[in-house]
Amino acid sequence: MTTFKYAQLPVTEVSPDMRRRLVHTDHIMLVIVDLDGPSTAVPLHQHPHEQISYIVEGEVNFVIGDGAERAVDRVGPGDAVVVPPDAPHTVEVLTESARVIDCFYPIREDFL
């Protein structure tokens, strides 16, 4: 068994409003994302990985799709969202801050 302490995980500042911490094996990745808000948005993006996002703190709009295919769900603590591979998606922070845990399969090599 391997244990990771949150406070000891290296922090990557993705932008002034977004920080992330990583835990991963060879096959699966957990990413703890801290977002400052409100009005902060993760840029619309897509990737070939399966993603499940769990909202720990704060409220966000989780947006999946683009144009006519756009679906928006307001989610908060205890809620989870499944993002299919290759689906365009973004997150808009609605509160002063938010913490989201993202799980990816396979791992996001671009995050390493």
pTM of the model: 0.94
Q: Which tens digits make up the pLDDT trace of 3-27?
A: 999 999 999 999 999 999 999 999 9
Q: Which tens digits make up the pLDDT trace of 50-81?
A: 999 999 999 999 999 988 889 999 999 999 99
For residue 40, name the pLDDT band (cuts at 50, 70, 90).
confident
pLDDT at site 39:
85
* 43 domain residue, yes or no: yes
Is residue 92 within 8 A of residue 35, CB to CB? The reply is no
* 1 domain residue, yes or no: no
pLDDT at site 73:
98
Determine the residue type at 87.
A
Domain that holds residue 102: 11-107
Which of 24, 28, 67 is CA-nearest to residue 49?
Answer: 28
* 71 domain residue, yes or no: yes
* 81 domain residue, yes or no: yes
Determine the residue type at 12.
T
* 5 domain residue, yes or no: no
Domain count, the chain: 1
* 112 domain residue, yes or no: no
Planar angle of CA 82, 85, 88, nearest 5 degrees: 85
* 3 domain residue, yes or no: no
Q: What is the CATH number of the domain that holds 56?
A: 2.60.120.10
* 36 domain residue, yes or no: yes
